[in-house]
C-alpha cells in the first residue's frame, strides 16, 4: 500500500495546471496516489484533470461546487487514506525526486509530522528568479515560525494523524493564511523539519492569491499569530471567530481600516505588537498606492509610521516617487 497521497485543490487553473501535473507524473518514486479536488472551475480545468486521470490509475479527481480553497483542501485531505499527505498547488512544480527525498527522510525520522524544503521562485515563464532557503531543525523552526512562515505550501508533507488531530485547515484565516495557521498548530504539538535542498519551484504570477490579496493575507497572518499566542499562554483560542468576522465585515479591499480600528481599541488586549500593526499598514499602503488610491495609501503609510517610527526612510521616499509618477501619468487629482 502507498505511504503517501499527493493532494491538490484547484480553481480555474488551466494555464499552469498541466505543468504541475506533469511534474507529479514525473516523480522518481512511483508508489503514491494523487487526489485533486476541482473547486467549481469555469475554465478548462475539469477537462485537463480528466485527461490526466485517464492516463494514470493512481489519480482520483473530485468535482464540486465552488466552496473556497480551505474547504476544497480539507475535502481532498479527508479522502486520503495513507499515513502521509503531500501538498501541491496547481501553479507550482515539484522536482522529480521531491517525494523520494521526503519519504526517505520521514522513514528515518518517524517523529517528524511536518516536513518541507527549500524552493526556487519562478516567474510566469518558468524562469528562476531566486532561491529561498529554510531553517531545517525543529528548534529553529519553532522559534521562527511565530514571527513568519518558514514553509512553502507546495513543499510540505504531513503525517495524516497529526493533520487530523489539529483539525485541518481553518476557514477563519481564509485561503490566504490558512496554511500558516495550520503549521503553527502542528508545530505546537509535533516535530517539524525542512530539507535544505530545493524540492519545488514556486511560481510567482499576477493571478495568484499572494499577489492579488496582499491586505487580506497580512491580516489573516496576524490573526494566526495572535491565535498561537493565546494557545501558548494557556488562554482559550477565541481568535478564529472574531478575526473571521472582522474580515467579513470589512471586505478584502478595506482590511486596513478594519485592522486599524481593532488595533487602536487596544494592542495589548488583542495581543498585537507594534510590529504586527505597522506591518499591516505597510502592506495596505503599498496595495493602495499600486491601485492609484494615493490618499488612502498615504494615510496607511502614516499609520504605519505611527506604530513603528523607525521604519526605513526609503519606504516613504518610494511612496512619494510613486505618487509623482501617478500624477504625471494621469495629469489629475489623486484618487481617494
Question: Does residue 113 contact residue 185 with C-beta atoms inside 8 Å?
Answer: no
Task: Output the pLDDT for position 319.
Answer: 52
Higher-pLDDT residue of 325, 211 = 325
Q: What is the mean pLDDT of the chain?
A: 79
Average of per-residue pLDDT across 222-226? 69
* 3-class state of residue 26 by DSSP: coil
Give the per-residue pLDDT at 295: 66
The whole-number average pLDDT for the span 174-198 is 91
Neighbours of 89 (CB within 10 A): 23
Q: What is the pLDDT of residue 33?
A: 97
Percent of all residues in the chain with a pLDDT value above 70, rounded to a whole number: 62
Residue 284 buriedness (CB in 10 A; 0-12 / 13-18 / 19+): buried
Instruction: State pLDDT tens for residues 24-60.
Output: 999 999 999 999 999 999 999 999 999 999 999 999 9
| pLDDT in the model for residue 12 | 94
Average pLDDT over residues 268-281: 58
Local structure of 59: helix, strand or coil: strand
Count CB neighbours of 71 within 10 A: 18
- Report the pLDDT value the prediction gives residue 228, as an integer from 0 to 100: 74
Secondary structure (H, E, C), 275-306: HHHHHHHHHHHHHHHHCCCHHHHHHHHHHHHH
Q: How far apart are CA 216 and CA 69, in angstroms?
A: 14
Quickly list DSSP for 159-203: EHHHHHHHTS--GGGHHHHHHHHHHHHHHHHSEEEEEEEEEEEEE
User: Which cell numbers hold the place of 27?
Assistant: 516523480
CA gap 273, 289 in Å, rounded: 25
The pLDDT of residue 291: 59
pLDDT at 267 over 50: no
Q: Count of alpha carbons within 13 Å of 165, Cβ hemisphere only?
A: 14
Whole-Å CA distances, 319 to 63, 245, 295, 299: 44, 31, 11, 11
Burial of residue 82 (CB within 10 Å: 0-12, 13-18, 19+) is: middle
Q: Look at 62 and 258; give whichever has higher pLDDT.
A: 62
Task: Report the pLDDT averaged over residues 146-173.
Answer: 91
- Structural contact between residues 208 and 217, judged by C-beta atoms closer than 8 angstroms: no
What is the average pLDDT across 7-28? 96
> In this predicted structure, what is the pLDDT of residue 324?
53
Grid cell 504625471 is found at: 328
pLDDT (mean) for 221-243: 64
Rounded-to-integer distance, Cα 199 and Cα 318, Å: 35
* Distance (Å, whole) CA 37 – CA 213: 22
Task: Set out the domains of the chain in order of their start, with CATH numbers.
Answer: 4-203 (3.90.550.10), 213-330 (no CATH)
pLDDT surpassing 60 at residue 211: no
Q: Please check the confidence at residue 333 and state whether its pLDDT lies above 50.
A: no
- 67-122 pLDDT, tens digit per residue, is 888 889 999 999 999 999 999 999 999 999 999 999 999 999 999 999 999 999 88
Amino acid at each position: 500500500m502507498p505511504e503517501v497521497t499527493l493532494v491538490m485543490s484547484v480553481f480555474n487553473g488551466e494555464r499552469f495546471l498541466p505543468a504541475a501535473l506533469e511534474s507529479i507524473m514525473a516523480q522518481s518514486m512511483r508508489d503514491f496516489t494523487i487526489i485533486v479536488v476541482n473547486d467549481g472551475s469555469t475554465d478548462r480545468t475539469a477537462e485537463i484533470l480528466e485527461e490526466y486521470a485517464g492516463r494514470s490509475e493512481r489519480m482520483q479527481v473530485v468535482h464540486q461546487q465552488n466552496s473556497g480553497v480551505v474547504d476544497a483542501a480539507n475535502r481532498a485531505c479527508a479522502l486520503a487514506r495513507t499515513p502521509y499527505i503531500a501538498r501541491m498547488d496547481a501553479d507550482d512544480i515539484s522536482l522529480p525526486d521531491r517525494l523520494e527525498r521526503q519519504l526517505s527522510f520521514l522513514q528515518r525520522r518517524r517523529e517528524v509530522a511536518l516536513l518541507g524544503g527549500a524552493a526556487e521562485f519562478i516567474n510566469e515563464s518558468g524562469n528562476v528568479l531566486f532561491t529561498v532557503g529554510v531553517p531545517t531543525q525543529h528548534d529553529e523552526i519553532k522559534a521562527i515560525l511565530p514571527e513568519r512562515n518558514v514553509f512553502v505550501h507546495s513543499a510540505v508533507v504531513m503525517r495524516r494523524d497529526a493533520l487530523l488531530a489539529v483539525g485541518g485547515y481553518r476557514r477563519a484565516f481564509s485561503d490566504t493564511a490558512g496554511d500558516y495557521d495550520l503549521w503553527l498548530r502542528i508545530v505546537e504539538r509535533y516535530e517539524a523539519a525542512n530539507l535544505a535542498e530545493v524540492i519545488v519551484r514556486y511560481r510567482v504570477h499576477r493571478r495568484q492569491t499572494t499577489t492579488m490579496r496582499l491586505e487580506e493575507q497580512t491580516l489573516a497572518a496576524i490573526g494566526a499569530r495572535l491565535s498561537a499566542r493565546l494557545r501558548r499562554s494557556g488562554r482559550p483560542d477565541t481568535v478564529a471567530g472574531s478575526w473571521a468576522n472582522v474580515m467579513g465585515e470589512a471586505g478584502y479591499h478595506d482590511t486596513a481600516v478594519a485592522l486599524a480600528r481593532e488595533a487602536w481599541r487596544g494592542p495589548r488586549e488583542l495581543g498585537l505588537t507594534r510590529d504586527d500593526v505597522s506591518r499591516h499598514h505597510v502592506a495596505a499602503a503599498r496595495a493602495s498606492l499600486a491601485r492609484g488610491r494615493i490618499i488612502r495609501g498615504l494615510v496607511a503609510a502614516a499609520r504605519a509610521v505611527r506604530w513603528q517610527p523607525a521604519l526605513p526612510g526609503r519606504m516613504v521616499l518610494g511612496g512619494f516617487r510613486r505618487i509623482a509618477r501617478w500624477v504625471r501619468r494621469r495629469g489629475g487629482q489623486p484618487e481617494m
